[in-house]
Amino acid sequence: MLKHDILIIGGGPSGLSTALHLQRTAPHLAPRILILEKARYPRLKLCAGGLVLDAEILLERLGLDVNEVPHVDADSIHFDFQARGLNIRIPKRHALRVIRRDEFDNWLAQKVRELGIEIRERVTVKNILSQTNEVLVETDQGTFHAQVVVGADGSNGITRLSIFPNAPVYTARVLEVITPEYNVVASPSISERRSNLLAKPSISSRRISRNNKEAFFDFFPVPNNIAGYVWDFPTQINGERMRCWGIYDTNLLSNEKRPQLKEPLAQEMERHGFNLDDYEIKGHPIRWFSPDNPMSVPRVLLVGDAIGADPIFGEGISIALGYGNIAARELIHAFERNDFSFRRYKVRVLTSPLGQTLLSRWLITYIIYSLKWKWFQILLWRILKPIVIAVSWIFVLNWGRRMPKP
């Protein structure tokens, strides 16, 4: 019989962070952890890879140096409505770090292994049954028995589906596209040379230049009932500088008439000289946080996208790392008391600095996307700039520093 104390399902940032926080705070529990991951590292994960400052703080507190991961730094972030709005810079540092998730998650998994925690790859969990004295985890490699299970298997994870088959689901639609940098597309000679590699990028006559070192969020689709934004980040693939584009829609306005999701993305890319049809579009849902999302049953608790990412932006890497911090403390408490009811886990999440930011972001989401009119979006992003910056600084960002140190 395969019996384990702590079985973590999913080796993304939330599962790996739970293991790292457990190891750091209660090292005696580390040998009792097993992580089951269905893929093999380095594995693909659709994600723009934008790491906010809070993610870097949480990693630093775990003794990890994210500089070891290949990355591109954006000097500033623009929050725009129709190409005009707020420009955020952070003095003496980058505004946004952009990693590729195959590299980042592989690095994090390596750190977990170096600390003696076992990760078993290519094991797909099929079902989870919480019983009075144990949890049965059915996989394609047999059934595992665990004292407790952490569901860290993402937005479509089987853990949540097994324990809460009828829970309400708040899910955003997201599309992503990778292109060369602007100047590469704009220069016919270079683009011709690359045409074999990069699927015929074409050049629009209405091209508007942007700085390759900046990241952009444009909320122009909101009045057309797409409750989200189009993004454009710098990134790199195997050391080559590229752009990562995408569109995020919370689905809050799904009862209204909307264009096809790819239309605003195509429109924005075209303004900058790219033809969406030339590139491969990939899509994946993001489950977002709402206070009524369930978080645990006896012996099973959820972390990361399995509970919910930030609803405003779909930002979920820092959030996943933060959930790991809270789940680790809940597990330590449970083993100390031999009480695996996880009755107070949701309260622990909601009253934590992470929970407070998620509650604020959830409220802000309903305000900024329900008030979808053009005049309101202009007011928000172009006129009320100091208020938006102050609210973001106090309620949206800076929660990482306030989390308990592991």
Ligand X SMILES: Cc1cc2nc3c(=O)[nH]c(=O)nc-3n(C[C@H](O)[C@H](O)[C@H](O)COP(=O)(O)OP(=O)(O)OC[C@H]3O[C@@H](n4cnc5c(N)ncnc54)[C@H](O)[C@@H]3O)c2cc1C
Which residue lies nearer to ligand X by CB, 112 or 174?
A: 174
CA angle 41, 301, 164 (to 5 degrees): 100
Instruction: Based on the shown chain and the rule CB under 6 A, indicate whether residue 14 belongs to the binding site for ligand X.
Output: yes
Whether the CB-CB separation of 289 and 396 falls below 8 Å is answered with no
Instruction: Based on the shown chain and the rule CB under 6 A, indicate whether residue 110 belongs to the binding site for ligand X.
Output: no
Instruction: Based on the shown chain and the rule CB under 6 A, indicate whether residue 11 belongs to the binding site for ligand X.
Output: yes
Residue 320: CB minimum distance to ligand X, A: 4
Residue 108: CB minimum distance to ligand X, A: 10
Instruction: Based on the shown chain and the rule CB under 6 A, indicate whether residue 315 belongs to the binding site for ligand X.
Output: yes
Rg of the chain in Å (alpha carbons)? 21
Which residue lies nearer to ligand X by CB, 18 or 191?
A: 18
Q: How many CB atoms lie within 10 A of CB 27?
A: 11
The 3-state secondary structure of the chain reads CEEEEEEEECCCHHHHHHHHHHHHHCHHHHHHEEEECCCCCCCCCCCCCEECHHHHHHHHHCCCCHHHCCEEEECEEEEEECCEEEEEEECCECCEEEECHHHHHHHHHHHHHHCCCEEECCCCEEEEEECCCCEEEEEECEEEEEEEEEECCCCCCHHHHHHCCCCCCCEEEEEEEEEECHHHHHCHHHHHHHCCCCCCCCCCCCCCCCCCCEEEEECCCHHHCCCEEEEEEEEEECCEEEEEEEEEECCCCCCCCCCCCHHHHHHHHHHCCCCHHHCCCEECCEEECCCCCCCEECCEEECHHHCCECCCCCCCHHHHHHHHHHHHHHHHHHHHHCCCCCCCHHHHHHHCHHHHHHHHHHHHHHHHHHCCCHHHHHHHHHHCHHHHHHHHHHHHCCCHHHCCCC
What's the residue count for the chain? 406
Instruction: Based on the shown chain and the rule CB under 6 A, indicate whether residue 180 belongs to the binding site for ligand X.
Output: no
Single out the residue of 237, 297, 304, 387 nearest to residue 18, CA to CA. Answer: 304
Binding test (CB under 6 A) with ligand X, winner from 6, 12, 234, 372: 12
Instruction: Based on the shown chain and the rule CB under 6 A, indicate whether residue 311 belongs to the binding site for ligand X.
Output: no
Residue 105: CB minimum distance to ligand X, A: 7
Residue 81: CB minimum distance to ligand X, A: 20
Choose the stretch contacting ligand X; rule: CB under 6 A; options: 13-21, 190-198, 208-216, 382-390: 13-21
Which residue lies nearer to ligand X by CB, 125 or 364?
A: 125
Q: How many CB atoms lie within 10 A of CB 161?
A: 16
Binding test (CB under 6 A) with ligand X, winner from 4, 8, 10, 179: 10
Site for ligand X in 26-55 (CB under 6 A): 36-39, 45-50
Choose the stretch contacting ligand X; rule: CB under 6 A; options: 5-13, 58-66, 379-387, 390-398: 5-13
At 315, list the tokens: 């930002």
Which residue lies nearer to ligand X by CB, 191 or 235?
A: 235
Residue type at 232 in one-letter notation: D
Residue 311: CB minimum distance to ligand X, A: 11
Residue 282: CB minimum distance to ligand X, A: 7
Residue 78: CB minimum distance to ligand X, A: 15
Binding test (CB under 6 A) with ligand X, winner from 6, 53, 320, 326: 320
Which residue lies nearer to ligand X by CB, 134 or 153?
A: 153
Choose the stretch contacting ligand X; rule: CB under 6 A; options: 20-28, 288-296, 316-324, 334-342: 316-324
Choose the stretch contacting ligand X; rule: CB under 6 A; options: 9-17, 163-171, 235-243, 363-371: 9-17
Instruction: Based on the shown chain and the rule CB under 6 A, indicate whether residue 152 belongs to the binding site for ligand X.
Output: yes
Measured CA to CA, the distance from residue 320 to residue 55 in angstroms comes to 9
Size of the site for ligand X (CB under 6 A): 38
Which residue lies nearer to ligand X by CB, 264 or 316?
A: 316
Binding test (CB under 6 A) with ligand X, winner from 4, 15, 94, 327: 15
Residue 165: CB minimum distance to ligand X, A: 15
Residue 10: CB minimum distance to ligand X, A: 3
Binding test (CB under 6 A) with ligand X, winner from 151, 234, 246, 355: 246
Which residues contact ligand X (rule: CB under 6 A)?
Answer: 9-15, 36-39, 45-50, 124-125, 152-154, 157-158, 174, 176, 246, 284, 286, 304-305, 309, 314-318, 320
